Structure 1
Amino acid sequence: MKLMKTLTGALLATAAMAMAAGACEMTLKSSDTHPDGYPTVEAVKHMGKLLEERTDGRICIEVFHSAQLGQEKDTIEQTKFGVIDMNRVSMGPFNNLVEETKVVSLPYVFKGVDHMHRVMDGPVGEDILKAFEPHGYVGLAFYDGGSRSFYNKVKPIKSIEDLAGMKIRVMQSDIFVDMMTALGANATPLPYGEVYSSIQTGVIDGAENNWPSFESSGHFEVAGYYTLDEHLIVPEVLVMSKASWDKLSAEDQTAVRQAAKDSVPVMREMWVAREKASEEKVRAAGVEVITEIDKAPFMAAMDSVYEKHVTSDKLKDMVARIRATD
């Protein structure tokens, strides 16, 4: 009897969800590699609520978190062809496709998180969003990706010399690979989902990421040293398939774009809270957090990365505009 009640309840819940989805004329499928509850996932859910309200229930968003639709490289391709309608993606995987994304992926290009917000909320950010369109995507909004720092299971990294010869996972981006080479480490591009087991088995020594990702992925369980060098403050981007976008009326396109922008402050508020909670959890687990580090040698080593990747007048101008932003 108890089992029957449970099954009946599950069936009723499923039916209710189906009826709710059925009320929408269009349900946009959105992908995210992060787990349920993560600020970027919750921000897109919030966007969906706004969109549903503002279109009188005609347009909904269904968020597939935890890489249910695949890792970022795969979902980027699916999004281009409209198999996936929307995608929250790290900037790195776009570097070789959308040239302008290289600039915000450069090490130490931002003075801090507040500076990054001012840049991405301004003309430079708008120019980067527009740059996605010729490649089959519509840039909607930027979310926070936090400050990325190194973590590993071998030893504390207190200087640039400590990185020498270490195998460090990076995103599949030439800039990230060249950054590690400039620091004397062995860059190892790997999908995000393979990092935990690769550190655990010694395929790599460590990786680099922000507090929430370090914690939510469980990487802190296998990498006991976290160095706050904050070499990257890379925003993440929410894009829509141009193929899906073109199916919307001009009015609905405006609604989608505005709902995306209105989700940004919500995401940022959740991000600050999540960073604090993640840091507390990691420290409580006994991870050694290294805060005393001279960043100057790290920053000086990046000259070769800038020389290699900031080659066009367009990119040089964009770097100058970022640095000129107060």
Structure 2
Amino acid sequence: MKRLSSIVFAITFSAAIFVSCTDKNSATIKKHPVTLRLSENHGAGYPTALADEEFARLVKEQTEGRVVIEVREGGALAQNEGDAIEGLKNGDLAFTRVSASSVAPYVDKINAIQFPYIYKSSEHMWNVLNGSIGQEILSEIERTSKDLVGLCYYDAGSRNFYVTKPVNSVSDMKGLRIRVQNSQLMLDMCEALGAKGVVGLNMTEIRGAIMNDIIDGAENNFPSYESNGDYSIAPYFILDSHTRVPEILIASKKVLNRLDPKDVEIIKSVAKQTQEFEIQKWKEKEAASEQISRQNGCKVIQLTPKAYEEFQKAMAPVYEKHGQKYMSIIEAIRATN
């Protein structure tokens, strides 16, 4: 009987120690969560920055505080998107939100989704990105780069021409000098439309360049057009939507490998949940920017379906020069409803 009592006591004591240790470990996890940093180059309140914050909130909530994401906006952690990507590759940063064009040097296939006039609408683009084409490219980021993991796409709207005179057809583009991003693809797009692409000007120099008759306009999305106040000097905003280049939320593979696999799955799932949140915030921002621009004299020109088709057909030499190795993806995009 004494022996039985001793065994019961030993089992009870061991269980008590186990429960005590478990409670301490749980407390330690809650007291010392893993803190990861996310680099965002846009400022606080921008649609992608709001989505970053929502991503951080949901990750903390769904990991029960085990993973905390610190979002730093305004380029506080990296001067540009290239530096942010390098931070991820080195494992110094956990996440960043960048333009798809910034990921293209690591994943060549991304170039296929950036061609001018390839999408019929925003809905068409999202059907491509959320379908097999876009999801395969996200997976390709991890396979090709080895150090990066593609989590989801965010909206960045469409880029449109804005100029000093009305444009209703391709013929109206003839001779216009358009400030574009430093890209041969964009220069060739302008040339195919009869215009001349101009590089070497940053966004803050556009207004002065138009006033000094160096250029006749530029191209960008509505929020950038409005925030720069370019409606005051180039009041005609042409809704041609020549390019739709999405943003991508990416993660450091080195950092994810340090985490519990269950938390990694939560992070991947939560990222996809924030996509619709960001799309809605973008729509709100775009509508507000358009309203402000119109109130300040902007004249929005919506191309007719016939005119838009004319712009698309003018891109034949551009696709011939730049698109040959991506043609299977381009054709698949065109075949997507």
TM band (smaller chain)? 0.7 to 0.9
Q: Is the 8 A contact 2:36 2:94 kept in 1?
A: no
Q: Is the 8 A contact 2:231 2:297 kept in 1?
A: no
Q: How does 1:63-142 map to 2 (within 5 A)?
A: 63-68=71-76, 69-133=78-142, 134-135=144-145, 136-142=147-153
Alpha-carbon spacing, 1:280–1:164, altered in 2? closer, same or farther (3 Å): same
Structure showing greater Rg: 2
Q: Is the 8 A contact 1:96 1:173 kept in 2?
A: no
Residue 150 (str. 1) matches residue 161 (str. 2): yes
Alpha-carbon spacing, 1:201–1:208, altered in 2? closer, same or farther (3 Å): closer
Provide the rounded CA distance (Å) in 2 between the counterparts of 1:57 and 1:264.
22
1:48 CA drift (Å): 0.5
* Residue identity matched to 2:118: V
Alpha-carbon spacing, 1:171–1:93, altered in 2? closer, same or farther (3 Å): farther
Alpha-carbon spacing, 1:29–1:201, altered in 2? closer, same or farther (3 Å): same
SS in 2 for 1:216: helix
Provide the rounded CA distance (Å) in 2 between the counterparts of 1:173 and 1:92.
10
- Consecutive unaligned residues of structure 1, counting only runs of 5 or more, are 1-21
Residue 306 (str. 1) matches residue 319 (str. 2): yes
User: Structure 1 residues 157-166 or 206-215, which shifts more?
Assistant: 157-166
Q: How does 1:198-277 map to 2 (within 5 A)?
A: 198-202=206-210, 204-277=215-288
* Residue identity matched to 1:224: P
1:278 CA drift (Å): 1.4
Q: How does 1:9-48 map to 2 (within 5 A)?
A: 24-32=33-41, 34-48=42-56
Q: Is the 8 A contact 1:102 1:175 kept in 2?
A: no
With the length of structure 2 as denominator, give the TM-score of the two structures: 0.79
Provide the rounded CA distance (Å) in 2 between the counterparts of 1:217 and 1:50.
33
User: Structure 1 residues 64-73 or 106-115, which shifts more?
Assistant: 64-73
Alpha-carbon spacing, 1:299–1:200, altered in 2? closer, same or farther (3 Å): same
| Aligned mate of 1:287, from 285, 298, 302 | 298
Provide the rounded CA distance (Å) in 2 between the counterparts of 1:73 and 1:162.
37
Aligned positions, number: 299
Q: Between Structure 1 and Structure 2, which shows a larger proportion of helix residues?
A: 2
Question: CA-atom RMSD, angstroms?
Answer: 2.5
Alpha-carbon spacing, 1:207–1:131, altered in 2? closer, same or farther (3 Å): farther
1:221 CA drift (Å): 4.5
Report sequence identity in percent: 36
- Consecutive unaligned residues of structure 2, counting only runs of 5 or more, are 1-30
Residue 55 (str. 1) matches residue 58 (str. 2): no
Q: Is the 8 A contact 1:160 1:298 kept in 2?
A: yes
Show the counterpart of 2:12.
Answer: none
1:173 CA drift (Å): 3.8
Provide the rounded CA distance (Å) in 1 between the counterparts of 2:206 and 2:239.
22
Residues 165-200 of structure 1, C-alpha deviations (whole Å, 9 max, x = no match): 444333344433332232233334458xx3122432
Provide the rounded CA distance (Å) in 1 between the counterparts of 2:181 and 2:68.
31
Show the counterpart of 2:6.
Answer: none
